[in-house]
């Protein structure tokens, strides 16, 4: 009878496209309602330490449009949240931003750089050739990239905190100082393992926002912009051929390795660690990066990508589902449409001391995954080699400030270890051939016998006029 009658699970299994869509929509609505809690909202703010300084710097110099950056950033938050069903971060392309600010690139060149990177990464995803890079990249190299990025985050966080005034003194200001940084640091680490119940990121963001409001309206900087409600539009930005060549050669080529490794391959590995039940494939992530900028950059939006550091930050501050970034996306679109570029003054008044602490915690959470580099590895020599490759990758990434150089250095180190172990034997075998212990003699007995022989040789006068060990001591 049990073989004839369908089980309850088989009976409830939806059939047909319409029924599957209804079941999926019902499941998503249930997950959305379950995710409406303070921890998710707090987690959505975890990556602001990376987003706000870069977006503000580029918008104040006219290299990106703040309104378009907010609107499209919010749109991509919602789309990627629905696609991957996890708090997939949306953050600026840091290498392009750094080069653009240093070289004073035009908006058209910045847009071209973002579109050039996205076209290459999207092609790797559509053709699924990104799998080749992922397949032949050792996990120790991926962990090294994550560790190096974490250390870089720590350095950038220190730079943000140094913008604040020191303890006391004539230059001390109440709104941005080391005291705020210390307080934020203490709050984060006291509630480090309570992020789902204590929304530390939301607390810090709210405190910083209050400080920014007070500073803007009591001691505004020169030519400061004040928040003004209205309806803000966006316009199409079409780069010229010269701008495209300049943007691609100057900024895209340096960003392609960073995006491919940290925003696609390392992100997929981290997503698998944090959400093993919802792994994100590398081709899907690559296509997502391409889609964001091939559309948004035509309207002046800052070039966006994903990133393992952003995902780690949002997870640390409480984000566990797509609800967090969907809420964040809705907020970005709201402020982009109704406040737009008028928010630049408020963002500029935000205390860098608090942003620096949030960015520092992002780096810590990303670097913590390096502890899993030897999970499942039993052989001691292999474990040691993995650790060295990881440190080599991280060290070269930080030292040269280039993910591509760190990646190549790690690959070369891993290849050398592979060749050495395959064709030259293991280190343990070499030690065994150098030191042969006689049968029936334990290592302790052998060591004692060596000491007796050594003491006997030292006590014998072999040269007549050479002093013995006892005479020398006397």
Q: Answer whether residue 459 is part of any domain.
A: no
The answer on 271 and 193 residing in a single domain is: yes
The answer on 410 and 274 residing in a single domain is: no
The pLDDT tens digits of the residues spanning 70-109 come to: 999 999 999 999 999 899 999 998 878 888 887 889 999 9
- The strand pairing partners of 92, in sequence order, are 304
Q: Answer whether residue 68 is part of any domain.
A: yes
The answer on 188 and 52 residing in a single domain is: yes
The confidence score (pLDDT) of residue 432 equals 46
The answer on 415 and 287 residing in a single domain is: no
Q: Answer whether residue 457 is part of any domain.
A: no
Query: Is pLDDT at 30 greater than 70 in this prediction?
Result: yes
Q: Which of 47-56, 79-88, 228-237, 286-295 has the lowest mean pLDDT?
A: 47-56
Q: Answer whether residue 104 is part of any domain.
A: yes
The answer on 273 and 199 residing in a single domain is: yes
Q: Answer whether residue 195 is part of any domain.
A: yes
The confidence score (pLDDT) of residue 185 equals 95
With bands split at pLDDT 50, 70 and 90, how would you rate the model's confidence at 441? Answer: low
Higher pLDDT, 310 or 426: 310
pLDDT average, residue stretch 47-53: 85
pLDDT average, residue stretch 33-47: 82
The answer on 354 and 418 residing in a single domain is: no
Q: What is the 3-state secondary structure of the chain?
A: CCCCCCCHHHHHCCCCHHHHHHHHHHHHHHHHHHCCCHHHHHHHCCCHHHHHHHHHHHHHCCCCCHHHHHHHHHHHHHHHHHHHCCCCCCEECHHHHHHHHHHCCCHHHHHHHHHHHHHHHHHHHHCCCHHHHHHCCCHHHHHHHHHHHHHHHHHHHHHHHHCCECCCCCCCCCCCEHHHHHHHHHHHHHCHHHCCCCCHHHHHHHHHHHHHHHHHHHCCCCCCCCCCCCCCCCCCCCCCHHHHHHHHHHHHHHHHHHHHHHHHHHHHHHHHHHCCCCCCCHHHHHHHHHHHHHHHHHHCCCCEECCHHHHHHHHHCCCCCCHHHHHHHHHHHHHHHHCHHHHHHHHHCCCHHHHHHHHHHHHHHHHHHHHHCCCCCCCHHHHHHHHHHHHHHHHHHHHHCCHHHHHHHHHHHHHHHHHHHHHCCCHHHHHHHHCCCCCCCCHHHHHHHHHHHHHHHHHCCCCCCCCCHHHHHC
The answer on 396 and 318 residing in a single domain is: no
Q: Answer whether residue 15 is part of any domain.
A: no
Q: Answer whether residue 328 is part of any domain.
A: yes
The confidence score (pLDDT) of residue 460 equals 45
pLDDT average, residue stretch 330-339: 95
Quote the percentage of the chain above a pLDDT of 70: 85
Number of domains, the chain: 2
The answer on 279 and 158 residing in a single domain is: yes
Q: Answer whether residue 13 is part of any domain.
A: no
The answer on 384 and 294 residing in a single domain is: no
The pLDDT tens digits of the residues spanning 188-215 come to: 999 988 877 788 888 999 999 999 999 9
Quote the percentage of the chain above a pLDDT of 90: 39
With bands split at pLDDT 50, 70 and 90, how would you rate the model's confidence at 431? Answer: very low
- Look up the pTM and report it: 0.75
With bands split at pLDDT 50, 70 and 90, how would you rate the model's confidence at 234? Answer: very high
Q: Which domain holds residue 190?
A: 34-372
The answer on 365 and 308 residing in a single domain is: yes
The answer on 259 and 403 residing in a single domain is: no
The answer on 182 and 268 residing in a single domain is: yes
Query: Is pLDDT at 114 greater than 90 in this prediction?
Result: yes
């Amino acid at each position: 009878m049990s073989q004839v009658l369908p089980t309850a699970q088989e009976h409830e299994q939806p059939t047909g496209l319409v029924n599957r869509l209804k079941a999926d929509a019902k499941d998503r609505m249930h997950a959305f309602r379950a995710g409406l809690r303070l921890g998710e909202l707090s987690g959505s703010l975890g990556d602001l330490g990376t987003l706000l300084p870069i977006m503000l710097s580029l918008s104040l110099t006219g290299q990106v449009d703040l309104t378009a950056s907010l609107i499209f950033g919010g749109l991509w938050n919602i789309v990627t949240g629905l696609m991957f069903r996890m708090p997939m971060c949306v953050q600026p392309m840091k290498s392009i931003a750094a080069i653009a600010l240093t070289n004073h690139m035009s908006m058209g060149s910045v847009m071209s750089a973002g579109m050039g990177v996205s076209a290459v990464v999207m092609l790797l995803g559509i053709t699924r050739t990104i799998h080749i890079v992922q397949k032949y990249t050792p996990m120790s190299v991926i962990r090294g990239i994550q560790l190096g990025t974490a250390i870089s985050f720590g350095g950038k966080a220190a730079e943000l905190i140094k913008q604040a005034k020191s303890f006391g003194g004539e230059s001390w200001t109440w709104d941005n100082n080391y005291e705020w940084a210390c307080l934020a640091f203490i709050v984060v680490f006291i509630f480090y393992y309570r992020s789902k119940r204590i929304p530390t990121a939301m607390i810090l963001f709210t405190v910083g926002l209050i400080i920014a409001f007070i500073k803007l309206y009591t001691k505004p900087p020169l030519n400061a912009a004040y928040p003004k409600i209205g309806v803000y539009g966006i316009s199409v930005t079409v780069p010229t051929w010269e701008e495209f060549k300049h943007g691609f050669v100057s900024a895209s080529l340096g960003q392609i390795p960073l995006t491919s490794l940290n925003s696609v391959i390392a992100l997929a590995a981290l997503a698998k660690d944090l959400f093993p039940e919802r792994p994100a494939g590398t081709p899907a992530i690559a296509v997502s990066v391409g889609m964001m900028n091939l559309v948004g950059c035509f309207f002046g939006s800052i070039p966006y990508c994903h990133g393992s550091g952003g995902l780690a930050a949002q997870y640390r501050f409480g984000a566990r589902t797509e609800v967090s970034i969907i809420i964040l996306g809705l907020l970005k679109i709201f402020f982009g449409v109704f406040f737009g570029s008028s928010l630049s003054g408020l963002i500029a008044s935000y205390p860098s001391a608090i942003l620096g602490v949030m960015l520092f915690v992002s780096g810590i959470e990303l670097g913590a995954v390096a502890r899993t580099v030897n999970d499942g590895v039993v052989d001691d020599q292999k474990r040691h080699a993995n650790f060295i490759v990881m440190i080599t990758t991280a060290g070269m990434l930080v030292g040269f400030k280039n993910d591509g150089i760190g990646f190549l250095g790690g690959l070369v180190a891993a290849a050398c270890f592979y060749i050495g172990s395959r064709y030259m034997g293991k280190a343990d075998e070499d030690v065994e051939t150098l030191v042969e212990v006689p049968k029936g003699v334990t290592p302790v007995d052998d060591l004692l016998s060596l000491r007796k022989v050594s003491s006997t040789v030292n006590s014998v006068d072999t040269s007549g006029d050479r002093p013995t060990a006892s005479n020398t001591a006397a």
